[in-house]
Structure 1
Amino acid sequence: MTNEMKKIQIFDTTLRDGEQSPGASIDPERKIIIARQLGKLGIDVIEPGFPVSSPGEFAAVQQISRELQHVEIAGFARAVKGDIDAAVKATQDAARRRLHLFISSSDIHLNHQLRKSRDEVVQIAREMVAYGKQFVDEIEFSAMDSTRSGRDFVIQLVEAVIAEGATVINLPDTLGYAMPEEMSELFRYVRSRARGGERVRYSAHCHNDLGLAVANSLAAIHGGATQIEVTVNGIGERAGNCSLEELVMAIETRKDAMQASTNIRIGEIYETSRLVSRAMHFPIAFNKPIVGRNAFQHESGIHQDGLLKNRSTYEIMDPEAMGISRSMIILGKHSGRHAIKHRLAEYGVHVAEAQMEDVYNKFKETADAQKIVSDNELIRIAGELTQTQPDPYVLTDLYVHAGTQRSRTATVTIRDEHGMEQTFAAVGDGPLEAVIHAIQQAIPVAAEFEDLELHSLSTGEDAHGEAVVSIIHEKQRFRGTSIHSDIVLAAAEAYVAACNQAVMTSGSRSVQASVQ
């Protein structure tokens, strides 16, 4: 294997293929916000949409082309003159642009969808690449469904478009059908046998129907691809596309095996993931690699003990390098004393050895009942058993008035660390907004409410929900959690818990909870 590091271009199609996910449609304004973040992330090529599909789509592609002058913009088009005209016009103000043309290559598509012969498809591809070449220098040609096509026909099609000026050849696994070894062999075969193949670059666009999109994309790199087409969080039609964050971190983590690198600024990965998730209203699975809630969290006592001694025992990546705050240890029924003591110490709560066994036993009792114990619950347990109030602020009472014909109002009572209680009221468009506004009056450090996740932990009339609230304070993200049968109360407690974290980790307060 050569020691020369190969640079892999990252082509992002979140705003085109990703938006084709059912229910993932976003308005042009949000598209532009996401595009800006993709530029900040270090994406080489952005495919902002399908310009011919609607006036709003055209306008979004046009504005992104004008604004993101440091990123190459791809105008997506079928092998149809009207599509090409729209793509060319929408991207005309881009500093660097390419035309991305596609047509099917598999007999399944030709016979049942296009209803055209192979010769007709070759002729259309040839004519449309030649037509597009009048307007742009860079043309990417995609032979759709390449992995279910006859290889000799793929080569015939590729040779025809190369002769007309195509500069990038994309061999998509459109249905996520290929196995990794088949993917790498396809690229080797086409690269070595197509006339003019050495003059062009090769790209892979893999779908995830069999869960192999990332593996197939890595295999394509081994087969000679120098561009990989991805989406943030792996969104896309059906089971989605190759996940940007998974591919990039696989390359970054295993540079020794891949002999490759990218231009991605990995510190922006988490922020990009969250932005896309919120904009498209697509939740991220807890066990999603890299950006999932559990990706860097550990409940097992054995794992927690190893991590506290040396992170590399159970982590192959540094979450903080990707912009993920380090909350690596989830406290649950499998957690040990070491992890509990360490977590309390992070908040400045130091429990005397004489009381640690009582805290541990109460913790275990709580964990058995609800599996996970949030940080604020742990601190509360320590406070009850040591007769102190480790939390700077405690929500002692909440009243919410909501209805269809009147404003939502909330009244909260907060007790501070000195035992003083104060009551505040506020209104909002919704009950939660009213609650947050009231709490913000009570807590001086109350920060920007960034995000709320609600998760059902059980079923039936007595079901409990878990609220996870993220806040931003002094450019740092803090997260609080709470579990309750009343989801508004759970969200309120989670917000207070996040604010307490901001106070307790800022160094402005240190609590000593001990019994002499």
Structure 2
Amino acid sequence: MIKFNNRTNLMEAIEFNYLLNDVKDPNLYRDVYPYDEIPKVTFNHTRVPIRMPDDIFITDTSFRDGQQSRAPYTVDQMVTLYEMLHRLGGPQGKIRQSEFFLYSKKDREAVYRCLELDYEFPEITAWIRANKDDFQLVHEMGLKETGILVSCSDYHIFKKLKMTRKEAFDHYLGIVKQALEVGIIPRCHLEDITRADFYGFVVPFAMALKSLSNESGVPIKVRACDTMGYGVTYPGAALPRSVQGIIFGLNHHAQIPSEQIEWHGHNDFYKAVNNSSNAWLYGASGVNCTMLGIGERTGNTPLEAMVFEYAQLKGTLDGMDPTVITEIASYYEHEIGYKVASNTPFVGKNFNVTRAGIHADGLLKNEEIYNIFDTDKFLNRPTLVSISAHSGLAGIAHWVNSYYQLKEEEAVDKNSALVCRLKRFVDQEFEQGRIGIMSDEELANYVEFLKSNGGVL
């Protein structure tokens, strides 16, 4: 069957017949994943069209995947962070959902307290073991949707589950039907999709889910899980590693609507953010993230990164409040005790700090020269200069203006008497063998000393 696509202005095939390939032996893609060598990126030079959905959004798994790599959050911490997610996502609910465990009394208490806030967004969803009792628990707690683990690579089907593809296929469909029977929207987590036989298992299974969705009228969701971070976005890259190939195949060949497709990435090869953005570009409405990227091994896609990816792709924040990102980072450091690496984009203490004197001179003349955007406006993080042996007069002048919030006519330049006095003080410190940077407190104390001895600010 063919149909005219109003978005592409082309006649396109929309009916496909992919059958489950029930192999006797697992396909482990040893040419791509030899294990005793670095994984290979292969190319078949097949390219698919960019088709970003009209509506794209972020979903959160900080309280599920994000808790699998750290000490569990307290109930109060989860509620506070959930409130922050609500404010960050804005009135349009660009952070659409947040996923919780339900197994412990503490997790359930956190869910109840978050539900009491009565926020439309993020919608609270669950992640459970795939059995009927757990579905009933989701229903009793008043949740509408839950994630279900449906591992799709032969690594998992044969080696972990000890099943054949046909057995796994039937088992998973049975679980999905159980969820539908108790009135729960299933979200099928296609674990390890970047090592799966895409057209031999993934697409036939996704097509079966689409049929169930059509029959039931329930929007069954599909989460494409790059469990090991193998996904790549290179043009012409071959499956199973091609992110665009996976998303296009789910959307076009399996006919899963964009709003029911979600990408879940890990950062093992430093590709989580790029892969998530690529998923948006090629047809997935949702990207699944964690705050600060906290998750198993190298972590998940950082939620704060996707806020700014969204703004860059759409040209607007659509009501999101990125200043909350700074609050989240501060809360993690001061209340939870999580150490954020100082050079982490958007949230690290040094992400918009310069130490080089020549860069500081540029900042002093016009901060746009060395700052990525107005970080004061969007993150409540004005540009800063760390004073070291290489900061120079310009760096010290910028520090004075930033620390004392001196604007326009009040601002000092690198030729001011105060800056020159501070420069001599800094030089003396490093001439005496100092290695580390000068702290704000040290510099401020010296300024107070100068003021008390007739100096001027």
- TM-score, with length taken from structure 1: 0.68
Q: What is residue 226 of structure 2 aligned with on the other side?
A: 173
How far apart, in 2, do the equivalents of 1:226 and 1:355 lie? 54
Structure with bigger strand share is: 1
How far apart, in 2, do the equivalents of 1:89 and 1:99 lie? 13
How far apart, in 2, do the equivalents of 1:381 and 1:280 lie? 33
How far apart, in 2, do the equivalents of 1:112 and 1:237 lie? 21
SS of residue paired to 1:139:
strand
2:108 pairs with one of 58, 61, 68? 58
Shift of 1:262: 5.8
Q: What is residue 86 of structure 1 aligned with on the other side?
A: 137
Please give the residue correspondences for 1:349-388 in structure 2 after superposition, counting only pairs within 5 Å. 353=416, 357-367=420-430, 369-382=434-447, 384=449, 386=450, 388=451
Shift of 1:62: 2.9
How far apart, in 2, do the equivalents of 1:63 and 1:130 lie? 30
Shift of 1:361: 2.5
SS of residue paired to 1:172:
strand
How far apart, in 2, do the equivalents of 1:365 and 1:101 lie? 63
User: Are 1:205 and 1:217, in contact at CA under 8 Å, matched by a contact in 2?
Assistant: yes
Are residues 1:184 and 2:217 paired?
no
Provide the aligned length of Structure 1 versus Structure 2.
382
Q: Highest relative contact order (Cα 8 Å, sep 6+), 1 or 2?
A: 2
User: Are 1:14 and 1:231, in contact at CA under 8 Å, matched by a contact in 2?
Assistant: yes
1:290 pairs with one of 319, 335, 346? 346
Shift of 1:261: 5.7
Matched to 2:357, the amino acid is: G
Q: What is residue 41 of structure 1 aligned with on the other side?
A: 88
1:117 pairs with one of 150, 164, 182? 164
Shift of 1:80: 2.1
Please give the residue correspondences for 1:13-52 in structure 2 after superposition, counting only pairs within 5 Å. 13-21=61-69, 23-42=70-89, 44-51=95-102
1:420-441: CA deviation from partner (whole Å, max 9, x where unpaired): xxxxxxxxxxxxxxxxxxxxxx
How far apart, in 1, do the equivalents of 2:250 and 2:66 lie? 28
How far apart, in 1, do the equivalents of 2:113 and 2:266 lie? 28
Matched to 1:178, the amino acid is: G
User: Are 2:52 and 2:282, in contact at CA under 8 Å, matched by a contact in 1?
Assistant: no
User: Are 2:263 and 2:279, in contact at CA under 8 Å, matched by a contact in 1?
Assistant: yes
User: Are 1:297 and 1:328, in contact at CA under 8 Å, matched by a contact in 2?
Assistant: yes
Matched to 1:216, the amino acid is: N
Distance change >3 Å, CA 131–CA 261, structure 1 → 2: farther
User: Are 2:100 and 2:124, in contact at CA under 8 Å, matched by a contact in 1?
Assistant: no
Distance change >3 Å, CA 189–CA 4, structure 1 → 2: closer
User: Are 1:204 and 1:225, in contact at CA under 8 Å, matched by a contact in 2?
Assistant: yes
Matched to 1:377, the amino acid is: E
User: Are 1:99 and 1:138, in contact at CA under 8 Å, matched by a contact in 2?
Assistant: yes
2:361 pairs with one of 305, 314, 317? 305
User: Are 1:10 and 1:44, in contact at CA under 8 Å, matched by a contact in 2?
Assistant: yes
1:265-314: CA deviation from partner (whole Å, max 9, x where unpaired): 21211112222444543210011111001111111112111122222211
Distance change >3 Å, CA 27–CA 342, structure 1 → 2: closer
Shift of 1:179: 1.5
Q: What is residue 155 of structure 1 aligned with on the other side?
A: 203
Q: What is residue 497 of structure 1 aligned with on the other side?
A: none
How far apart, in 1, do the equivalents of 2:374 and 2:170 lie? 51
Deviates more, 1:355-364 or 1:280-289: 355-364
Distance change >3 Å, CA 68–CA 116, structure 1 → 2: farther
How far apart, in 2, do the equivalents of 1:339 and 1:57 lie? 48
Shift of 1:358: 4.5
SS of residue paired to 1:291:
coil
Are residues 1:389 and 2:389 paired?
no
Gaps of 5+ in 1: 391-511
Matched to 1:389, the amino acid is: S
How far apart, in 2, do the equivalents of 1:291 and 1:127 lie? 44
User: Are 1:8 and 1:260, in contact at CA under 8 Å, matched by a contact in 2?
Assistant: no
Q: What is residue 452 of structure 1 aligned with on the other side?
A: none
Distance change >3 Å, CA 261–CA 193, structure 1 → 2: farther
Matched to 1:381, the amino acid is: Y
CA RMSD of aligned residues (A): 2.9
Shift of 1:186: 1.3
Are residues 1:513 and 2:455 paired?
yes
User: Are 1:202 and 1:227, in contact at CA under 8 Å, matched by a contact in 2?
Assistant: yes
Percent identity over the alignment? Answer: 25
Distance change >3 Å, CA 2–CA 211, structure 1 → 2: closer
How far apart, in 2, do the equivalents of 1:5 and 1:179 lie? 20
Matched to 2:298, the amino acid is: A
- TM-score, with length taken from structure 2: 0.76
Shift of 1:145: 0.8
1:75 pairs with one of 126, 133, 142? 126
Matched to 1:364, the amino acid is: D
User: Are 1:78 and 1:103, in contact at CA under 8 Å, matched by a contact in 2?
Assistant: no
Q: What is residue 217 of structure 1 aligned with on the other side?
A: 276
SS of residue paired to 1:197:
coil
User: Are 1:304 and 1:339, in contact at CA under 8 Å, matched by a contact in 2?
Assistant: yes
Distance change >3 Å, CA 50–CA 2, structure 1 → 2: closer
Matched to 2:345, the amino acid is: P
1:242 pairs with one of 276, 301, 308? 301
User: Are 1:14 and 1:230, in contact at CA under 8 Å, matched by a contact in 2?
Assistant: yes
User: Are 1:31 and 1:60, in contact at CA under 8 Å, matched by a contact in 2?
Assistant: yes
Shift of 1:150: 0.7
